[in-house]
Structure 1
Amino acid sequence: MVIKESLLKLLTERSINKVTVTDICREANINRNTFYSHYANQFELLSTIENDLYEDIKQVVINSSNLKTPEKLSYELCKYIKANKTICEVLFSEHGDKALLERILYISHDLTIERWKQELKYFDQPLFESWYTFTAHGSIAIIKKWVNSGLKESPSKIADFIDKATQSVSKAFYSEEL
């Protein structure tokens, strides 16, 4: 854990490309042999941290999908992010991996598309894909802004904003059906 925390601390100052194993060992107060007994290099360590975060968020999405209300998902995600502030601040920052955010965006893709198929009378795959992309990227932008500004607002306030914005877009699609 101290190795992971040391890398996260270093990533608040610079990108992964500018962090060395020596830097991590110095920060963690361990020797290189200890580091190499767990990880091949700093990139593998970062990948492990990112994958752990991804799996945790995936579990939040899966658990929230059983609740049958999309609003609950936004709140649960924001609550998770707030509870894991340090790691999220680093991984969602300019020094974080942009591919991680893309992976996170599409965790709930299939569940959301399936829900829309069931709720709407017509199905237009390209339209639904665009709808999902728009709402997902907008939600991530709000979350990223919230994280990068220090998570000052409550998870419920951010989730409420995301839900209202998403619902306003969704109303246009639902009203087309009537």
Structure 2
Amino acid sequence: MDRRIEKTRQVIMNTFIDLLAEKGFEKITVIDIAERANINRGTFYLHYVDKFDLLDKCIETYIELLLNYCANSADKNLSERAFQSVFEYLEKNFTIYKLLLNNEGFGFFRSRLYSIIVQTVTEGDVIKSKNIVSSNDVTTHFLASGFIGVLEWWINNSMPCSVQEVTEQLMFLLEPYTKQLVSHESDI
């Protein structure tokens, strides 16, 4: 992709995020974005259909950044390192993720993250042990919902405990699942 196009898109997205923090999504107009980004409206429309398209692209970008960071620094199982990696990244990028989780109407961010967690739990072979009595689907969604709930609580309450504390508490709660994963791997 042409560097100028990339740079223009980044300026538009950064401007959008700034405006989102200042006035909320409903009050933002394309004119606001164009004026603040020092571009004309036509340039905006070359890159995005409307502000909803920009929001979708913004959410996808920040989900991808989170996933790439975690993929580069941890494994795909429910390991302490994997959880710590997620929370470290969120701590470093707290402002943007709080904005994406808190803003009204941004259920897309939460649901996209939820589906990724479900996929990770399923692919990670976490709950396929014969020792688990409950349905794999029920367990998968229980784990995903619990993780998202903790993540939202941690972000929305401005990180009331350290990365280490939240990671340790999650690992304690997930101990039955992680033990089964370890015992399942040793059977192989």
Category of TM-score, reference length = shorter chain: 0.7 to 0.9
Matched residue SS, 1:153:
coil
- Cα deviation per residue 1:38-96 (whole Å; 9 max; x = unaligned)? 22211111111111122223334544235x55221111111111122222011111335
Runs of 4+ aligned residues of structure 1 deviating over 3 Å after TM superposition are 60-63
User: For 1:35 and 1:164, how far apart are their aligned partners in 2?
Assistant: 48
Q: How does 1:160-175 map to 2 (within 5 A)?
A: 160-167=168-175, 170=177
The runs of 5 or more residues in structure 1 that have no matched partner are: none
| TM-score, scaled relative to structure 2 | 0.74
2:154 paired residue number: 146
The one-letter code matched in structure 2 to 1:142 is: V
1:82 paired residue number: 91
Determine which of 144, 156, 163 is the counterpart of 1:155.
Answer: 163
User: For 1:130 and 1:69, how far apart are their aligned partners in 2?
Assistant: 17
Which structure has more RCO (C-alpha within 8 Å, separation ≥ 6)? Answer: 1
1:116 paired residue number: 126
Task: Tell me if structure 1 keeps the 8 A contact 2:78–2:126.
Answer: no
2:35 paired residue number: 26
Q: Share of identical aligned residues, percent?
A: 25
2:108 paired residue number: 99
The runs of 5 or more residues in structure 2 that have no matched partner are: 1-9, 182-188
| TM-score, scaled relative to structure 1 | 0.77
Residues 3, 33 of structure 1: alpha-carbon distance in 2 compared, 3 angstrom cutoff: same
